[in-house]
Amino acid sequence: MKNGVPEFDININQGDDYSRIISLEKGGKPLNISNATFKFAGRYNITDKTLAFIGSVEPINEYTIRLYIPNEVTAELQAGTDPRTPKRAYYDVQKIENGEEKRILQGDAYIYPGHAYKVKD
């Protein structure tokens, strides 16, 4: 946890759909998200305002979310040139409730190179 925000690193395979289910807690207790909407995005450099990706957040139940980035988006991400050394980006998730936006999750996004997604059907 940094600056009061839980940290969770994610691994993204270039060209794949990315999906991860996460149970949210605050102070060891489930964080109720029943009436909230969300923003999920990442960038390669904290000082650069350009977003590397925008994902979506789907509430699964009152304490659990699903992060999702479609393969069309991950295919456009920069990846490391060596599978053992992924490209690093930084992401966060904001919860919007009653007009207030608050960061509830953050971390590093490690992007691994893909190949098969480039094959044309």
Query: What CATH number corresponds to the domain at position 53?
Result: 2.60.40.3350
Residue 81: per-residue pLDDT = 84
Burial classification of residue 120, based on how many CB atoms lie within 10 Å of its CB (0-12 exposed, 13-18 middle, 19 or more buried):
exposed
Cβ count near 20 (within 10 Å): 14
Residue 118 lies in a domain: no
Q: How many domains does the chain have?
A: 1
Residue 121 lies in a domain: no
Residue 104: per-residue pLDDT = 94
Residue 2: per-residue pLDDT = 85
- Report CA 44 to chain centroid distance, whole Å: 13
Residue 25: per-residue pLDDT = 84
Residue 14 lies in a domain: yes
Q: Which domain holds residue 82?
A: 10-112
14 contact partners, CB below 8 Å, separation of at least 6: 74, 75, 77, 79, 111, 112, 113, 114, 117
Residue 115: per-residue pLDDT = 80
Residue 1 lies in a domain: no
pLDDT along the chain (121 residues), means of 10: 89 96 87 92 94 97 96 94 90 96 96 82 68
